[in-house]
Each structure stands twice: as structure tokens, then as C-alpha cells.
């Protein structure tokens, strides 16, 4: 008997798959398609870790499963390569980000191929490739033409270490998500995408998505639609303050107003006595993230020194500044009704402000109807070198002009120093020759901000359909065949990325470039693989596990893949366990050894074989990958007990292939069999039965057996009971009622 040598087998089949372009996909109109993709990775210098392996293997299991079922499957791959890690490395070492990225991609590709992923490598994309970001710039220009890419001056989070602005979701506990340094607020002119233009559609269509409920809830909360009214409160005869409220009918109970620290006219509300305290409070508040401000249990605030008139009661009420009010919500000013709102009550109790219980008024009596959103327009400017240049230039008066499409891509220039400075401009500003550009005969100066990396990942799924097209961002016919994406898998970016790609999809559908309005049919959101002690893996902690180490230790890729699917439900976090890896390796060894065992002359496994086919098939359809592997382990145990026929082994290999494709392919070759997915015969499926106690007027009269599914059908159970010979004599004159207790498996007939 040959020894199981996974590395030898895997090298053989990886070479075969590469030489035959086994997973190259083409548009085949006569076959149903299936497109699957993972959220593509950032290729760091550390390479793939076992957390990536879980994410990618989920996609690969489904890819191979549908391949075996005869569908025309596309599983592409790409890299999200712009961003701070490569730039910071360039600042530290002087190595160009282009070179770092090239090296890191080569390592990622090598690892992915060693894992045996069924990837169409001819469609590989890289967001920092000029032929890719040329079309990212084209996308920006389409949004700009429609007024959905615009500039405005506003307070933004600024990281003094990384020298760049940050979006709200990139500030964690008041610190930069990258370097961990405390951030500050800085007033700057920045570029935004007007995602709020699509807020209603983004919200209204969430429930129709085949996505995890927790992700849909997170998106709903992020959009945060509020329906209410704007009401004017007069400060003097000529000045007023406009507030937004969802409860205009509670205006009689409004006893004070509160404005956000960023409120544009805050300084006009202060006087000589309050100015210093108000401005100090504002400065402190601007150091906190919005999440921190919302979650802070202790209410803080300062009286501005001004009063307003409640238009309903005519009472003079004080105006406070407090950080629990956000500038981007409504008008940045609210009317506080402490009798009706818990936050307002806490504030009123702390500052000894009136709490008035009063009646409600008609909602249309005061103010103008208004809908507002928690979601802000998408800040997309970054003061970084290593990003997609924004295709805008400025004339001598400072007015923006789009770079003509025939001048795209705006290439990233070579510079000697990658570090930004305190001017608020990126290192691109140091490329003096590059800064100059002529548009329509006029010399202009290029924009030195680059696009947030999320812009590059907002359309890459469509580029996969025609990645080498040099005439368009995507080919309409290829898009029509392959997309929308059938399965999208990831364990991060639950809100921002997924909202942005939905926003761009709707915009490009409106412009006639896409034939659908939702980009992703099904979303699988997987849990993390943590270190053995349960802590999150990170390079800084030194607890990251390299998949190649596991493979090269002799376990092989099939063991790693199968273990990560067996470790637990795909959507829950799990801790790495080396002992369990060994257990999976032994299971695959047992599968291999069966091929060399003496075939059983008698087919004793027809029932378990059909049950296993059905179980594994239904489990994969329901993404219960761990129980599918468990079913295969049970099947192998049974084959060792009873002896295996050739058919038993062929079925085993076919069912095993999505998880351990190298071993399964080798088994099928030696068994002289093809890999199409097997089907089961219902006549061999012996269902387990459940016993139901049947009482008549509370006394036991019979027991009946039903299949587990019948527990959900009370009428069927009643019908079976009424036709039972032991029951009919008690029910000749009919029954008054029946009581079925499913949990107790009890049916009581009252006669």
C-alpha cells in the first residue's frame, strides 16, 4: 500500500490545473453561470494568514461544488493594493510602493496556488495597475459630471502622524486605525461622493437582500433615516436657530436647545463671559470620535450665554453646546424635550433644567417636514502618495476642472521623498513637473489628493467580467452574462465597502452602464480564526500562523483547507487548534488508505451512501461546511466497519473534492472515475421516526410513529391518530377538540 504523501500529490495536481487552465472561465450561453468572489485582500508583506484561508476556502468549496454540478463557474482574484502600509514602508526604507506591492502580490499568488484554489488566474487584477486605476478615475469623472463628486470645506479627522484625513469609520476610540495615534479635527477643503443622494434606495432595498441579518441591521443603522421637521427658534428679532426633530408634536415640552460643538454659528452664540469655556469645550469635543460621543454615558455641556424663544410656548429657553449632538445630524441643533427623551432628561437633571410634562400638539402645526440621515456623504480625499490620483486640475482662480478622459490615466509620478508634510498636501505636490497640465490650451495645476482606497474596491467586481478591456471599464455583454455576483464572501467591511459598492451600482445603473441595481445576490460573512489562546492574530503580537508553515510541516493544503471548514460554523469565530489539525490529517489518511483496501464483494452501504450524499449536498447548500465534513468522517467510519465497494469510494472522493481537491482528484484518477456531483435515491433514505403519545380525555390510548418533519404539521398528526385502530372506538361520535404539545410529543383528544 502506498503511503499518503500530500505534498507530492498536491504538487502534481497544481501543475496539471495550471498547465490545462482548468479554471479559466468563458461566456457559455448554453450553460447556467455561477460567479463567486471573496473581498479581495491587501497584499501585505506578511502574506496570507490562516484567517484569509478560511475566507478563501469557503469561496473555493462553493466554486468546486458548482463546478462538479456542471455550472459554468467564474472565481476570479485580485488585490487591493493602494494604502498606507506600502507607503509607510516606502517612507521608512525608501523602497518604492510599486516595488513593494509587486513583491507582495507574487507572495500572495504563490500561497494561493499552493492552497489549490480554483481561480481563473487570467482575470487577476491589481488596483494600483495604471490600466486599472485609469478606469477608477473614469468612474470618478462620471460621478463628477452628475454633481455626485464635489468639494466642500468642513472639519475632518486628521492624523498628525500619517498626515492625512480619516473617515469616521477609520477613527477608533479617538485614535487613527492605522498608527494608533490620537487624531484631531482640522478644517479642510475635501472631495466627497454624494452617497446621501441614494440613501432612501440603499435603505429600502436592504430587506430584499439575501444577506446575514446582522449585516443588514448594521447598514440600516448606519444610514439612520429619521423623518421629522425643521423648526425655527428666534434668538432675536433678526436671528434664529433652526433645529431638526423627529417629534415636532412634543414642542410644548422643549425647555432648552442644544447645538453640536461643530455648529457653524457657535461663536455667534457666546458672549464675553462664556466664550473661553465654550471654546475650550469645543476643542475637547473635537478630539473625540462620534462613536465615543454617542456612547459616553455621562452627559457634558456648556451654556453658550444665549437664549431662544420656543415658538409654541413663547418661553425664553437657554442654548447649550453638548457633544451628544452631532453636526452632521439634521441641522446640528436640537430642541431638548427632557420629559420625552432619555438623553435630554439626563442632561436636564445634571444641569438643573426644567422637565415639563405636557400634552402633544398636531405635527403639522410647527416647522417644515424634513427627512434626515445619520449617514454622511462619503469623504474620499486622502493626502497620500500611494493612492489613485484624483483626475482634477485647478485654473489660476482655483476653480476645479476634470481631466479629459483621453488624458487618463493620470499616472502616479516618481518621487524621491514619499512623506507628506504639514501643508495638508500629499507627496505628489513634490513632483513639480507632474503638477503642471494643459487643458483646453490653459495651463493648470493638478489635484494632489488621492482617492480613498474604498473607491478602488467599489467597482472591481465588474472589472472581473472583462479585466483586459482597454476601451471600457467593463464590457456590457460580459457583465450581462456573469453578474451580479452570486456569492460574495468576507469577514470585514460590513458597512462602508458594502454600502459604497451598492451606491456605485445604483449610480451606474441609472447611467445605463449596468443592467442591475444590486451588485451582490448572496453575502456570506465569515468569522475570524483566532490564535490558540483565543486572541486575535496580529503581526505585532507574533501569533500569526502562516498557511505555508502548516502545509510544509507535512500536513498539506488539503488538511489545512478541510480543517478550516471543520473548525466550526463558518460565521462564528474559532481558535486555532493544532491537535485538531492532526485529527483532520488522520481522516484524510484513512480516505487514502481505503483506495488500497480489498474491495467488499457485497454492497452493504447503500443506505449510508445515499444519506451521506444528501447530507453533504444539503449542508453545502446551507453553508454548514463543518457538518458536511463531519458527515464524511462518519461515512468513512462506516466504510471501515463494513467494507467499501468501488462505488462507495467514488462517492467519497466526489463528496470530498470541494474540501480536499488534490487528494480527491488523485483518488478519482486511481478509481478511473469522473468528478460530477452524485445524486441520491430517496427510496434508500430510511427516515428516523418520532413516537407520539395519543391520549383520549387525558388517558393513554395509543402511540403512533411519524417522521421528524411531521412534527410541524399538526393536522397530519391528528389525521394519523384518528385512523389508528386503538383510537377509532373512542372517537366514533367525533371529537370536541384536539391539543397537540410538540415539545412533549403529546396529542390529547377531547371527546
* DSSP state string for 204-254: HTGGGSBS-HHHHHHHHHHH-EEEEEEEEEESSSS-EEEEEES-GGGGGG-
Residue 527 lies in a domain: no
Residue 30 lies in a domain: no
Q: Find the mean pLDDT for residues 155-166.
A: 81
Examine the domain organization and report whether 337 and 415 are in the same domain: no
| The 3-state secondary structure of 93-129, one letter per residue | HCCCHHHHHHHHHHHHHHHHHHCCCCCCHHHCEECCC
Q: How many other β-carbons are positioned within 10 Å of the β-carbon of residue 295?
A: 9
Using pLDDT thresholds of 50, 70 and 90, give the confidence band for residue 296: low
Pull the grid cell for residue 657.
473534492
Which of these three, 341, 373, 405, is where a domain ends? 373
Q: Alpha carbon 129 to chain centroid distance?
A: 24
Number of domains making up the chain: 3
Examine the domain organization and report whether 235 and 303 are in the same domain: yes
Strands (E), 409-536: 436-439, 442-446, 450-451, 485-490, 520-525, 529-530
Pull the grid cell for residue 451.
482617492
Q: Is residue 170 predicted with pLDDT exceeding 80?
A: no
Distance CA 75, CA 121 (A): 9
Q: Is residue 707 predicted with pLDDT exceeding 80?
A: no
Q: How many residues does the chain have?
A: 751
Examine the domain organization and report whether 229 and 369 are in the same domain: yes
Contact 241, 257 (CB under 8 A): yes
Examine the domain organization and report whether 196 and 149 are in the same domain: yes
Examine the domain organization and report whether 313 and 393 are in the same domain: no
Q: Is residue 8 predicted with pLDDT exceeding 80?
A: yes
Q: What is the mean pLDDT of the chain?
A: 93
Examine the domain organization and report whether 341 and 421 are in the same domain: no
In this prediction, residue 88 carries a pLDDT of: 84
Q: What is the pLDDT of residues 570-625, one digit of tens each?
A: 999 999 998 999 999 999 999 999 999 999 989 999 989 999 999 999 999 999 99
The answer for 512, left when phi > 0, alpha when psi is -120 to 50, beta otherwise, is: left
In this prediction, residue 690 carries a pLDDT of: 84
Which of these three, 435, 453, 471, is where a domain ends? 453
First to last CA, the chain: 70
Examine the domain organization and report whether 299 and 394 are in the same domain: no
Enclosing domain of residue 367: 225-373
Residue 260 lies in a domain: yes
Please confirm whether the linkage preceding 484 is cis (ω < 30° from 0): yes
Contact 299, 343 (CB under 8 A): yes
Contact 62, 101 (CB under 8 A): no
Q: Is residue 683 predicted with pLDDT exceeding 80?
A: yes
Q: Find the mean pLDDT for residues 83-89.
A: 86
Residue 509 lies in a domain: no
DSSP annotation of 182 reads: B
| pTM, 2 dp | 0.84
Residue 309 lies in a domain: yes
Distance CA 657, CA 60 (A): 10
Q: Is residue 140 predicted with pLDDT exceeding 80?
A: yes
Residue 359 lies in a domain: yes
Distance CA 495, CA 332 (A): 24
Nearest C-alpha neighbor of 302 from the set 332, 338, 326, 269 = 269
Which of these three, 453, 470, 497, is where a domain ends? 453
Residue 714 lies in a domain: yes
Residue 391 lies in a domain: yes
Examine the domain organization and report whether 421 and 322 are in the same domain: no
Pull the grid cell for residue 239.
436671528
Q: Is residue 709 predicted with pLDDT exceeding 80?
A: no
Q: Find the mean pLDDT for residues 114-136.
A: 97
Examine the domain organization and report whether 246 and 289 are in the same domain: yes
Examine the domain organization and report whether 304 and 187 are in the same domain: no
The DSSP bridge pattern shows strands 450-451 and 381-382 to be antiparallel
Examine the domain organization and report whether 355 and 388 are in the same domain: no
Examine the domain organization and report whether 173 and 196 are in the same domain: yes
Q: What is the pLDDT of residues 548-564, one digit of tens each?
A: 999 999 999 999 999 99
Q: Is residue 295 predicted with pLDDT exceeding 70?
A: no
Amino acid at each position: 500500500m502506498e503511503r499518503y504523501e500530500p505534498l507530492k500529490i498536491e504538487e502534481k495536481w497544481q501543475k496539471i490545473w495550471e498547465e490545462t487552465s482548468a479554471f479559466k472561465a468563458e461566456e457559455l450561453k448554453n450553460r447556467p453561470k455561477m460567479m463567486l468572489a471573496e473581498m479581495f485582500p491587501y497584499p501585505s508583506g506578511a502574506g496570507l494568514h490562516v484567517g484569509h484561508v478560511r475566507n478563501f476556502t469557503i469561496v473555493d468549496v462553493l466554486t468546486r461544488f458548482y463546478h462538479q454540478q456542471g455550472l459554468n463557474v467564474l472565481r476570479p482574484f485580485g488585490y487591493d493594493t493602494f494604502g498606507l502600509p506600502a507607503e509607510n514602508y516606502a517612507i521608512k526604507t525608501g523602497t518604492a510602493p510599486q516595488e513593494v506591492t509587486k513583491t507582495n502580490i507574487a507572495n500572495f499568488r504563490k500561497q494561493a496556488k499552493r492552497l489549490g484554489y480554483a481561480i481563473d488566474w487570467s482575470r487577476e487584477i491589481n488596483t494600483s495597475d495604471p490600466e486599472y486605476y485609469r478606469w477608477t478615475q473614469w468612474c470618478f469623472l462620471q460621478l463628477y459630471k452628475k454633481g455626485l463628486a464635489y468639494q466642500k470645506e468642513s472639519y475632518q479627522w486628521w492624523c498628525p502622524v500619517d498626515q492625512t484625513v480619516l473617515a469616521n469609520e477609520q477613527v477608533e476610540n479617538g485614535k487613527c486605525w492605522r498608527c494608533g495615534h490620537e487624531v484631531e479635527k482640522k478644517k479642510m477643503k475635501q472631495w466627497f461622493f454624494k452617497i446621501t443622494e441614494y440613501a432612501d434606495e440603499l435603505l429600502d432595498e436592504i430587506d430584499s437582500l439575501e444577506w446575514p441579518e446582522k449585516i443588514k441591521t448594521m447598514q440600516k443603522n448606519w444610514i439612520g433615516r429619521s423623518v421629522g421637521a425643521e423648526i425655527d427658534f428666534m434668538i432675536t428679532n433678526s436671528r434664529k436657530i433652526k433645529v431638526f426633530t423627529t417629534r415636532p408634536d412634543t414642542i410644548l415640552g422643549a425647555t432648552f436647545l442644544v447645538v453640536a460643538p461643530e455648529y457653524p454659528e457657535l461663536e455667534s452664540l457666546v458672549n464675553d463671559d462664556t466664550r473661553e469655556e465654550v471654546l475650550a469645550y469645543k476643542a475637547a469635543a473635537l478630539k473625540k470620535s462620534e462613536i465615543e460621543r454617542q456612547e459616553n454615558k455621562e452627559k457634558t455641556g456648556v451654556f453658550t450665554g444665549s437664549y431662544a424663544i420656543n415658538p409654541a410656548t413663547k418661553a425664553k429657553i437657554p442654548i447649550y453646546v453638548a457633544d451628544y449632538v452631532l453636526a452632521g445630524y439634521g441641522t446640528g441643533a436640537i430642541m431638548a424635550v427632557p420629559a420625552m427623551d432619555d438623553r435630554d432628561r439626563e442632561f436636564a437633571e445634571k444641569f438643573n433644567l426644567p422637565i415639563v410634562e405636557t400634552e402633544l400638539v398636531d405635527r403639522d402645526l410647527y416647522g417644515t417636514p424634513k427627512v434626515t440621515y445619520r449617514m454622511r456623504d462619503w469623504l474620499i480625499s486622502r493626502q497620500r502618495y500611494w493612492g489613485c490620483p484624483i483626475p482634477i486640475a485647478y485654473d489660476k482662480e482655483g476653480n476645479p476642472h476634470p481631466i479629459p478622459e483621453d488624458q487618463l490615466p493620470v499616472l502616479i509620478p516618481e518621487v524621491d521623498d514619499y512623506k507628506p508634510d504639514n501643508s495638508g498636501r500629499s507627496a505628489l505636490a513634490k513632483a513639480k513637473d507632474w503638477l503642471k497640465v494643459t487643458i483646453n490650451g490653459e495651463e493648470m495645476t493638478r489635484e494632489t489628493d488621492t482617492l480613498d482606497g474604498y473607491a478602488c474596491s467599489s467597482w472591481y467586481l465588474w472589472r472581473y467580467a472583462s479585466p483586459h478591456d482597454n476601451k471600457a471599464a467593463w464590457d456590457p455583454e460580459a457583465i450581462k452574462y456573469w453578474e451580479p455576483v452570486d456569492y460574495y464572501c468576507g469577514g470585514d467591511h460590513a458597512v462602508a465597502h458594502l454600502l459604497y459598492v451598492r451606491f456605485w451600482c445604483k449610480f451606474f445603473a441609472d447611467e445605463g452602464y449596468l443592467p442591475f441595481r444590486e451588485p451582490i445576490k448572496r453575502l456570506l460573512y465569515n468569522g475570524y480564526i483566532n490564535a490558540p489562546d483565543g486572541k486575535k492574530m496580529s503581526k505585532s503580537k507574533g501569533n500569526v500562523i502562516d498557511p505555508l508553515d502548516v502545509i510544509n510541516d507535512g500536513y498539506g493544503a488539503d488538511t489545512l483547507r478541510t480543517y478550516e471548514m471543520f473548525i466550526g460554523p463558518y460565521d462564528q469565530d474559532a481558535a486555532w487548534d493544532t491537535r485538531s489539525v492532526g485529527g483532520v490529517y488522520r481522516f484524510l489518511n484513512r480516505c487514502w488508505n481505503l483506495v488500497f483496501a480489498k474491495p467488499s464483494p457485497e454492497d452493504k452501504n447503500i443506505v449510508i451512501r445515499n444519506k451521506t450524499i444528501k447530507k453533504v449536498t444539503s449542508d453545502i447548500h446551507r453553508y454548514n461546511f463543518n457538518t458536511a465534513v463531519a458527515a464524511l468522517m462518519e461515512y468513512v467510519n462506516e466504510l471501515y466497519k463494513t467494507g467499501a465497494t468501488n462505488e462507495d469510494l467514488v462517492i467519497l472522493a466526489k463528496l470530498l473534492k470541494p474540501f480536499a481537491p488534490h487528494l480527491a482528484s488523485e483518488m478519482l484518477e486511481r478509481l478511473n472515475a469522473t468528478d460530477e456531483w452524485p445524486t441520491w435515491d430517496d427510496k434508500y433514505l430510511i427516515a428516523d421516526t418520532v413516537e407520539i403519545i395519543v391520549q383520549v380525555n387525558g388517558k393513554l390510548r395509543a402511540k403512533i410513529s411519524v417522521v421528524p418533519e411531521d412534527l410541524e404539521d399538526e393536522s397530519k398528526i391528528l389525521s394519523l391518530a384518528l385512523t389508528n385502530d386503538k383510537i377509532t372506538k373512542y372517537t366514533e361520535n367525533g371529537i370536541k377538540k384536539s391539543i397537540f404539545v410538540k415539545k412533549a410529543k403529546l396529542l390529547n383528544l377531547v371527546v
